[in-house]
Each structure stands twice: as structure tokens, then as C-alpha cells.
């Protein structure tokens, strides 16, 4: 694996484009979260696949199509490369690994599981987060495989809609595992590990940010073992999808926070194509 490009953001995050042995390319994002609220202090977000087959309407990666799964070695190597950067730059060593880069990690479950074990044993990393659209059988497999392990694996479910109709249009996999299915799986995971599941809700102007959405979201999540994380659509120039104004995000949050434990996540590296697949997309276009 070789470094093809490195971009450093004004917020301190670093986006890497790595070349693989078969001339494919993947991304990793190093994030330094000084506030230490929504991520660990020093985190790397890694890819689990070349491309993605899930087909999310808002994602740059899925526009590039699916090529293949990454091996556990290729996943771990991203962390190794980022750790080398941290050493050279005098930055904090990696404290946590987030599987939220290119690809759906639960569609490459066995290699992701092997990478987690290798990172825990070889690097002493015991804090992980896994972002998924909700592949329910794999979530249940995680419960079975990791229930006796000491590492922390935070589950992060991409909801992004308050109705199945809206979610179908944003995340085609919703037709396999709908909102009710994935929230039930989230509750099972939370109960198994005595740890709340994070529910990601990305606001898109005029699509999922209405008062009706707020009301439905409260009904869906109230009294469930979850934490809602609200974010803004990271503009991928998709026709019909518009990022909300910052004040609209905060208005949505102010209404929700009194009813559901929630917070706002501000995107890292938006000035350096920090969003999933964005840097690789520019490389392909170039």
C-alpha cells in the first residue's frame, strides 16, 4: 500500500488516498478531536471495501461502484500508515479506529472482525466504532462473536430518515432491513453490551428536516437505549440533495434534545474532501 495523496485540513484532520497492489485506491481519514465529545481524541476512519454496493443516494463512494472487499491486512495497513504520520508529525498516536470510510463494513464482516482482533493484539487499540446502514444478521453475529471480548465496539447506525418511504429513497438497503428491523437490532446490541447505540441522522434540506420528521423521530427513538447524533449532509453535488443551513441543524437539535439524548456532529475535513469517497472521486475524475 502506498500513499498517493495527503491533504491536511484547517481543523487538523488529514485525508489519505492509498494505492493498492491491484491499482485500486482507498481512503482513510485521521481525526483529532480536541473536545473529545463524539469521537476519541485521536481517531482514524478506515475503509473496508473498494467502492460500495449499498447505493446510498448521498454518498460519493457508491457512485464509483463496488470493486471488492479489503483484506484484514489492507484494513490494518491503513491504521499503520496513519500511525506513521502521527509519529512523524508529533501528533497523538491512534486511540480508536472507526469503520466509516469507503464501503459497508458489515458486508465484509469476517475481514473486519479479523482486523479488529489484529489491531487489539498488535497495536493495543481497544476502542472501535462501526458505522452501518443496518445489516441485521451481521449485527446479531457481532453480538455472538464479541460478547466475551474486552474491547469496546460502538455501533453507529445510519438512520437518516423518519419513515421507510424516505429511507428507501436514500438507502436502498432499507428494503431488506427497514427502520423497525434495524432499531430492534440496535436494542439487542445495546442490551448485550450494556452500551447505547449511536443513531446517525444526517439532515438534508427539505427532505428529512421538517417538524413532522422531528415528531416522528422522537416517537421512534424515545425510551430506546440510543444516542442520536445529528449531522449535516456533506455536499457531494448530488442533484436534489442540499445541505441545511447551520442554524437549521441547531434548530432541529434544540427541539430533539429535550426528548432524546442527542448531540451535533460537525464534519471533519470538509475543506479537504473529508467525506467518504470524495477524494477518490476527484482522483478518478482527474
pLDDT at residue 203, rounded to an integer:
96
d(CA 54, CA 142): 20
Q: Which of 3, 27, 59, 191 is catalytic?
A: 27
Residue 240 has what pLDDT? Answer: 81
Pairing assessment for the beta strands 127-132 and 96-99 based on DSSP bridges: parallel
**107, 91 Cβ separation under 8 angstroms:** no
Residue 143, CA distances (Å) to 19, 136, 152, 252, 276 in order: 33, 11, 12, 32, 26
Determine what percent of the chain is predicted with pLDDT higher than 90: 74
What domain range is 188 assigned to? 2-285
H helix count then E strand count, the chain: 8, 12
Catalytic site residue 27?
Answer: yes
d(CA 57, CA 153): 27
CA-nearest of 145, 133, 81, 146 to 103 is: 133
* 222 in catalytic set: no
**Cα–Cα dist 57/35, whole Å:** 31
Per-residue model confidence (pLDDT) at position 278: 47
Using DSSP, state whether 104 is helix, strand or coil: coil
Strand-pair partners of 222: none
Phi, psi of 146 (to 5 degrees): -110, 5
Tally of domains in the chain: 1
What tens digit of pLDDT does each residue of 175-234 get? 999 999 999 999 999 999 999 999 999 999 999 999 999 999 999 999 999 999 999 988
Q: Tell if the pTM clears 0.75, that is, is over it.
A: yes
SS3 226: strand
Angle between helices 211-221 and 179-193 (to 10 degrees): 40
CATH of the domain at 46: 3.20.20.70
Amino acid at each position: 500500500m502506498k500513499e498517493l495523496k495527503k491533504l491536511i485540513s484547517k481543523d487538523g484532520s488529514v485525508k489519505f488516498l492509498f494505492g493498492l497492489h491491484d491499482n485500486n485506491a482507498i481512503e482513510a481519514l485521521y481525526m483529532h478531536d480536541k473536545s473529545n465529545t463524539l469521537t476519541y481524541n485521536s481517531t482514524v476512519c478506515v475503509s473496508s471495501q473498494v467502492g460500495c454496493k449499498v447505493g446510498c443516494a448521498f454518498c460519493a463512494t457508491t457512485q464509483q461502484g463496488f470493486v471488492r472487499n479489503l483484506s484484514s491486512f489492507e484494513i490494518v495497513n491503513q491504521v499503520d500508515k496513519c500511525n506513521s504520520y502521527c509519529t512523524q508529525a508529533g501528533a497523538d498516536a491512534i486511540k480508536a479506529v472507526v469503520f466509516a470510510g469507503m464501503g459497508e463494513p458489515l458486508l465484509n464482516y469476517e475481514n473486519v472482525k479479523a482486523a479488529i482482533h489484529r489491531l487489539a493484539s498488535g497495536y493495543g487499540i481497544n476502542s472501535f466504532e462501526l458505522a452501518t446502514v443496518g445489516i441485521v444478521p451481521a449485527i446479531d453475529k457481532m453480538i455472538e462473536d464479541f460478547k466475551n471480548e474486552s474491547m469496546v465496539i460502538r455501533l453507529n447506525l445510519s438512520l437518516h430518515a423518519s419513515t421507510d418511504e424516505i429511507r428507501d429513497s436514500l438507502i436502498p438497503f432499507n428494503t431488506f432491513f427497514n427502520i423497525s428491523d434495524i432499531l430492534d437490532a440496535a436494542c439487542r446490541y445495546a442490551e448485550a453490551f450494556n452500551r447505547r447505540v449511536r443513531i446517525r441522522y444526517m439532515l438534508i434540506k427539505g427532505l428529512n428536516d421538517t417538524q413532522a420528521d422531528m415528531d416522528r423521530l422522537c416517537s421512534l427513538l424515545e425510551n430506546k437505549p440510543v444516542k442520536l447524533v445529528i449531522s449535516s449532509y456533506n455536499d457531494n453535488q448530488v442533484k436534489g440533495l442540499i445541505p441545511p443551513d447551520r442554524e437549521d441543524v441547531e434548530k432541529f437539535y434544540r427541539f430533539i434534545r429535550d426528548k432524546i439524548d442527542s448531540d451535533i456532529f460537525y464534519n471533519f475535513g470538509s475543506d479537504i474532501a473529508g467525506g467518504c469517497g470524495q477524494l477518490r472521486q476527484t482522483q478518478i475524475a482527474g
